[in-house]
Structure 1
Amino acid sequence: MMSPGVTRIAPYSRDAGRRAAAVKMVLAGAALAFLAGCATFGAGTPEEAVTKRADERWAAWVKRDYAKAYEYNTPGYRGTVPYEKFVTMRGKDVRILSGKVNKVTCSSADRCEAKIELKARSALMMRQSFPKEIVTFIDETWVFEDGQWWLFERI
C-alpha cells in the first residue's frame, strides 16, 4: 500500500522513449523552421533585401573585389562559369566609379528587377575630349533560391 500523496513511477518502457525522441525531433524541426523563417524575413521586404544585396555587390565591384562580386551570382551560374571567365567577360577598359540601386520591383515572391544607376569612366574617354564620367542605368534580375537572393545572369 502506498502512502497518500506518493505517485508511483512506471518503469521506463521502449515505447515511452520512442515517443519522447519523436517529440524532440518534431520540436527541433519546428524550431529550425521558425529560425529559417526569421532569416528569410529578417531583411524586411523582398525589395529591401534585393536592394541591400545589389548595393553590396556593386560596392565590391567598385573596390575591384571581383571575387566578392562573383559570389552574388546564382549557384548555378557559378557552377557553370568559372571565376576567371567571369572576370575576363567584364572587360578592362571601363572603370565603374559607383553603382547604386535606383528602384526594385518584384513581380513575384522569388523574382525582382533592380534598376541600377552606374557611373563609369572609360580609358578611351581619358584620351579624347569626352566627359570624364558617364551615368547610365542597367536592369538586373534577382531570384530567391535556397533562402537567399541571387543575381541572375544569362550564360
Structure 2
Amino acid sequence: MSSKYPHYRRLALLALAAGVVGLAGCASIGTQTPEQVVEKRATDYWKARMGAKYEVAYQFSTPGYRKVRTAEQYKLQFGAGVSVVDASVSKVVCEPEKCEVQMKLGVKPAILMLKLDKVETYMNETWLLEDGQWWHYQDL
C-alpha cells in the first residue's frame, strides 16, 4: 500500500504532525506562570480588602491560618487608622513554593482634624503554594 499510494502516507504524517502541534498549542494557552497566577490573586485579594469584603479577602488566607482564625477575627485586625484607596502589584518574584509580592498602595491616613492627601507606599507580601493553590500568608 505504501509504494502504490506514497502521497497518502505523507498526508497522513502531515495531518498527525499538525494535530500534535495543535494540541501542544492548546495546552500552552491555558498555562500561566506562578508569577501571573499570584499577581492575579494578589490583585483580587486587595480589591476585596479595599471594598471592605473581608469575608472574600479571608478566603485568600492559607488553609492553616483559616484553621486557627475565624473570618470575624481576620476582619477585626484592620483598624480605622489608614484607608487603602488603590493597590497594584509592582513586582512578583517566585520560588517553587513561595512568591514575594511587592504591592504599591495608595493610602489615606486618618488623623483627626487633618485632611491629608493620598500617600503612596510599598509593602511586601508572601504567597505560599499549598495543595496546588497560591495563598496569602500572614503571621498568626
- TM bucket, shorter chain: 0.7 to 0.9
Q: What do residues 5-41 of structure 1 show as CA deviations (whole Å, max 9, x unaligned)?
A: xxxxxxxxxxxxxxxxxxxxxxxxxxxxxxxxx7xx9
1:79 aligns with: 67
Give the Å deviation of 1:90: 1.4
2:105 aligns with: 118
Residue type of the partner of 1:76?
G
Give the Å deviation of 1:110: 1.1
| C-alpha separation in 2, matches of 1:62 and 1:43 | 29
- Structure showing greater radius of gyration is 1
2:43 is equivalent to residue 55 of structure 1? yes
Which of 102, 113, 118 is residue 127 of structure 1 equivalent to? 113
Identical aligned residues as a percent: 35
Q: What do residues 89-122 of structure 1 show as CA deviations (whole Å, max 9, x unaligned)?
A: 111232110111100001x211100000111112
Which of 114, 123, 132 is residue 147 of structure 1 equivalent to? 132
Which of 80, 86, 91 is residue 79 of structure 2 equivalent to? 91
Q: TM-score, normalization: structure 1? A: 0.68
**Kindly tell me: are residues 114 and 78 of structure 1, through their superposed partners in 2, closer, same or farther at Cα, counting changes over 3 Å?**
same
CA RMSD of superposed structures (Å): 1.7
Q: TM-score, normalization: structure 2? A: 0.75
Partner of 1:128, secondary structure, is: coil
Give the Å deviation of 1:43: 5.1
Q: How many residues align?
A: 113
| C-alpha separation in 2, matches of 1:149 and 1:135 | 26
Partner of 1:154, secondary structure, is: coil
Q: Which runs of no fewer than 5 residues in structure 2 stay unpaired?
A: 1-26
| C-alpha separation in 2, matches of 1:128 and 1:47 | 39
Give the Å deviation of 1:84: 1.3
Q: Which runs of no fewer than 5 residues in structure 1 stay unpaired?
A: 1-37
Answer whether contact 1:43 1:49 (CA < 8 A) is retained. Answer: no
Q: What do residues 116-144 of structure 1 show as CA deviations (whole Å, max 9, x unaligned)?
A: 011111221x6225x31111111000011
| C-alpha separation in 2, matches of 1:151 and 1:43 | 21
2:89 aligns with: 101
Partner of 1:127, secondary structure, is: coil
Answer whether contact 1:118 1:137 (CA < 8 A) is retained. Answer: yes
